[in-house]
Structures are given as C-alpha cells and as structure tokens.
C-alpha cells in the first residue's frame, strides 16, 4: 500500500483494502446497523464519563 494516491483504506472481510476515492461517494452500500448501535452505546458511555469528571 505504499505510494498510493486518491484511495481510501477500509476493511473487507477483515482484510485491509484500498478503494478509489470516487467509488467512496458514487457507489451506495448498505450499512451494517450493528455499527450504528455501537456508536450509540459508545456515545452514551462518553457522556457518562464526562459527567463523572465534571
């Protein structure tokens, strides 16, 4: 992956891959909703941590 330009690194089946940047905004892909739920859980934990430190 050295000397690559105009590409984004991602994971596909636990393997790092390069995708041309244009594909990242022109191709639509269904999102795994597990990540959305994980984001909500992590955000709630961050709020709780901030409340403890204030």
Q: Please give the pLDDT value at position 17.
A: 92
Task: Using a cut of 0.75, tell me whether the model's pTM lies above it.
Answer: no
- The residue ranges of every structural domain in the chain are 7-53
Q: Please give the pLDDT value at position 18.
A: 94
Concatenating the DSSP letter of every residue in 6-54 gives: SEEEEEETTEEEEEEHHHHHHS-----HHHHHHHHHHHHHHHHHHHHH-
Q: Please give the pLDDT value at position 53.
A: 64
State pLDDT tens for residues 1-53: 678 899 999 888 889 999 999 998 898 878 788 888 999 999 988 877 777 66
């Amino acid at each position: 992956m050295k000397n690559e330009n105009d590409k984004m690194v991602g994971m596909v089946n636990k393997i790092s891959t390069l995708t041309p940047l244009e594909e990242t905004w022109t191709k639509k892909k269904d999102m795994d909703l597990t990540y959305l739920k994980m984001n909500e859980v992590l955000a709630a934990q961050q709020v709780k941590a901030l409340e403890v430190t204030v």
